Structure 1
Amino acid sequence: MEVIYTGLCQTPEMVVNAALQEDVDVIGISILSGAHMTLFPKVMQLMKEKGMEDVLLTGGGIIPEEDMAHLNNMGIGKLFAPGTSTTDIAAYIRN
């Protein structure tokens, strides 16, 4: 699997535009700032606006379990807590 790292402090618009240009299958976002309830929905909204409904949005960070459940119910893929094995994350993406 090829990974394109866009760097720290990317706006939702920057993330979605880069993903669109690179024709990705998955967008993975790491959020440690506590802004997950703002950033994930914004990225998902922009993805829908760009017709990227077939792209998986996933990620992780310091996200309370109840927020993970709420984001999952919104259509965002599985979210991973700190310390999750990259093998587990890659297996989720492959499946």
Structure 2
Amino acid sequence: MSTEGEQRTIRCLVAKVGLDGHDRGAHVIARAFRDAGFEVIYSGLHNSPDEIVQAAVQEDVDVLGISILSGAHDTLVPKILDGLKEYDAFEDTLVITGGIIPDEDHDELYDAGVDEIFGPGASMEETITFVRENAPER
């Protein structure tokens, strides 16, 4: 039951890609998103870019949050973005990344299609506000 003026639930996939086994940040953001009223799906560890794309498409998410600390962001994130484009899901998905991504790599990721990068020290409020203001209308 929804009423006019009620906000729709934003569906988010919090994803860990590659061999990165550090998932504390992903769990923290997943919990913060749930507490903010978002519907959250967590991918678990060690997913390939294709597995992330498949999950995002099958779950019809509004937001894909990629948590990466392995240093492989420059190859893995563009593969995910290319996969979303192949499934015509790129335009309808807000893509954010978080983790250890050097400043000198930000422009390359933005050029590839990442909407925002949240590094260490980014507040939960900042991230939640960005998602609320930028999640695609469906």
TM-score by length of 1: 0.94
Matches within 5 A, 1:1-95: 1-52=38-89, 53-95=91-133
CA distance, structure 1, for counterparts of residue 93 and residue 129 of structure 2: 16
List gaps (5 residues or longer) in structure 1. none
Q: State the 4+ residue runs in structure 1 displaced beyond 4 angstroms.
A: none
Q: Which residue of 1 aligns with 2:23?
A: none
Contact 2:81–2:112 (CA<8 Å) still a contact in 1? no
- How far off is 1:73 after superposition? 2.0
Taking the aligned partners of 1:85 and 1:56, their CA distance within structure 2 comes to 18
Once the 2 structures are TM-superposed, how far is the Cα of residue 82 of structure 1 from its aligned partner? 1.6
The structure having more radius of gyration, on CA atoms, is 2
Q: Describe the superposition over 1:47-87 as per-residue Cα deviations: whole angstroms up to 9, x where unpaired.
A: 00011021111111110112012211222111111231121
Quick one: distance in 1 between partners of 2:98 and 2:61? 18
Q: Is the 8 A contact 2:62 2:94 kept in 1?
A: yes
Identical residues among aligned pairs (%): 51
In structure 1, how many angstroms separate the alpha carbons of the residues matched to 2:63 and 2:94? 5
Alpha-carbon distance in 2 for matches of 1:69, 1:87? 24
- Measured on the aligned residues, the alpha-carbon RMSD in Å equals 1.0
Amino acid aligned to 1:6 = S
Structure-2-length-normalised TM-score = 0.66
Q: How many residues of Structure 1 are paired with residues of Structure 2 in the alignment?
A: 95
